């Protein structure tokens, strides 16, 4: 398991302590809060009316991103072997 160190203000820390259950780790607290305050994506379905041009640009952009991601993944995977 990877660990990360974060820096927060003392005021934020005190709010988190109040929200945290006694038997709960901070990681579990963060997961719980993220789930609690993340709205379901279904809520936004159909909220943005795209033009055909916007849709085509978005699809092209997603394809470029996926291609770059796959190439980068393959490069890193081959360097690990």
Higher pLDDT, 1 or 21: 21
Evaluate if residue 4 carries a pLDDT over 70.
yes
Evaluate if residue 56 carries a pLDDT over 70.
yes
Dihedral (C-alpha) 71, 76, 77, 81: value to the nearest 10 degrees? 140
- Give the residue extent of every domain in the chain: 1-38, 40-81
Evaluate if residue 81 carries a pLDDT over 70.
no
Evaluate if residue 48 carries a pLDDT over 90.
no
**CA distances, 21 to each of 6, 28, 37, 54 (Å):** 20, 10, 17, 46
Instruction: Output the pLDDT for position 3.
Output: 87
The whole-model pTM stands at: 0.46
- Which residues, in sequence order, are CB contacts of 16 under 8 Å at separation 6+? 8, 26, 29
The average pLDDT across 32-43 equals 84
């Amino acid at each position: 398991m990877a660990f990360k160190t974060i820096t927060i203000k003392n005021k934020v820390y005190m709010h988190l302590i109040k929200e945290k259950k006694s038997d709960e780790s901070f990681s579990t607290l963060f997961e719980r809060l993220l789930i609690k305050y993340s709205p379901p994506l279904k809520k936004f379905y159909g909220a943005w009316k795209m033009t055909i041009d916007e849709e085509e640009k978005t699809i092209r952009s997603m394809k470029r991103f996926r291609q770059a991601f796959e190439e980068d993944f393959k490069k890193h995977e081959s360097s690990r072997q």
